[in-house]
Amino acid sequence: MNLYAVTGNPILHSKSPNIFNEIISKNKLEAVYFRLAADNAKEAISIFKSLQLKGMNVTAPFKTEIIELLDEVDVEAKKINAVNTIVNISGKLKGFNTDFIGVTESFKDQGIDLNKKKCVIIGAGGAGKAAVYGMHKAGAEIIIIDIDEKTAQSVATEFGCLAKPNKELEVHVRQSEIIVYAVDAALVEAVKEEWITKNHVIYDVNYKPSFLNNIVKNKGCKLITGAEMLINQAIPGYEYYFGTTPDKSIMWNGFHQQIADKKKKTIALIGFMGCGKTSVGKALAAKFNYTFIDMDDEIVNKTDMSINDIFKIKGETEFRKIEQDILKNEIKKENVIVSCGGGIILNKENRTLLKENALTFWLYNSVETSVSRANNGTRPLLNTENPIEKAKNLFESRKEFYADAADMLVNTENKNIAEVTEKIYAEINKTFGNKR
């Protein structure tokens, strides 16, 4: 099974796993795609290598930072100075940029020829720069405007376009045929409704509805959203990963999938032994004011036997049956944090229960760290002469199942309980806010 991921900070909101897993499933590929939370590009690449991923998409704010960590970078990614797609080619990591393709293909989908069109691109960051590169290549006449005028001028000089001061934004919006909004619309509402006519085309790189939707509705002009860009940049990414062209309609089906309301109120922690599920789970429960449930404790209470004794007397098969029965009951409760045993993901039905009923976080650290934390005589699967070798083999056989069940991987290596807890808490709040 090949593993793929998307990384960024934050990342729980990303639609990429929905898009890729939908078509992976339809095409019956031996692959799993998941979210990889990281604080920086170096951490993301470290986990990429440790898990031996086959590919990874990169979103803000790592697209430029990650370049120096790669073995090779495609010429167009170098020009844009941003990588959003990484492919593992025989152990060498090569970076590509498909964002600019996402922009230009979205215009093509709407029957818009960019050649000689007057365009103003608002924002000279990563998304703006990809738009500049792609649209300039397609023959558009581009003016770049950014609140950081030096950055705008630098990008304009690099690509042979014009940069104008921010104070002239109204003039150039009114004069342009196409407006590309390449800043966070949730934070900055730079365009005024009175500047817009029904003849404008507005391209909002944000795929969540923004203030621009109301402007478009009131003015009757055309809107292209970041959702279209997301799909169109994913297509060449899929081609890099799997060597074939995907069905766009299937990708759209994945994009439109929503996280069920039930999942927002139930949190599950999975991962290999010794990754910190119990400690983090208790801290999360306190932070959210949720009830903490430890699956191992529930098993001991139900059987009146230790985990070790269950394995010795009844065997692993019986243990897994008991574990599954308890999971079926506990995972359907609301306002709970459920800490799961390391092998719970071996059963497909368990993985389905986790995916359908909980926000599931995969706590990850190295096998060596796991063994150092867990090899205290209470882990029946480590009762062997060479626990490190046994643990490595176990983890390798399980990692695809962790990836399959998880909404997001969280690194716990060299991090304390408070840091891991805060990471999960922040990701949930940034994605759901008070809707949780």
Q: Long-range contact list for 163-167, CB < 8 A, 24+ apart?
A: 163/124
CB atoms within 10 A of CB 435: 7
Question: Which three-class secondary structure state does DSSP give residue 312?
Answer: helix
Backbone angles phi, psi at 275, to 5 degrees: -90, -5
Report yes or no: 272 and 346 within 8 Å, Cβ to Cβ.
no
d(CA 12, CA 6): 10
Locate 189 and state its tokens.
């509402």
Q: Which two tokens stand for residue 60?
A: 């803000």
Question: Quick check: helix, strand or coil at residue 92?
Answer: strand
Following DSSP, what letter does each residue of 156-199 receive, concatenated? HHHHT-EE--GGGHHHHHHH-SEEEE-S-TTT-----GGG--TT
Question: Any residues with CB less than 8 A from the CB of 304 and at least 6 apart, and which?
Answer: none
> Do residues 419 and 38 touch, judged by C-beta distance below 8 A?
no
Kindly write down the DSSP assignment for every residue of 237-273, as one continuous string.
Answer: HHHHHHSS---HHHHHHHHT----GGGGGEEEEE-ST
- Residues forming the active site: 63
For residue 254, give the nearest of 26, 14, 21 by alpha carbon. Answer: 21
**CA 48/CA 127 separation, integer angstroms:** 24
Q: Which run of H or E residues covers position 236?
A: helix 226-242
- The CA angle 403-228-162, to the nearest 5 degrees, is 120
Across-strand partners of 223?
A: 202
Q: Which amino acid is at 192?
A: K
Cα separation of 278 and 412, whole Å?
Answer: 13
164 in Cβ contact with 170 (< 8 Å): no
- Any idea of the CA torsion for 322, 323, 325, 327, to the nearest 10 degrees? 160
Collapse the DSSP code of 425 into the 3-class scheme (helix H, G, I; strand E, B; otherwise coil) and give the result.
helix
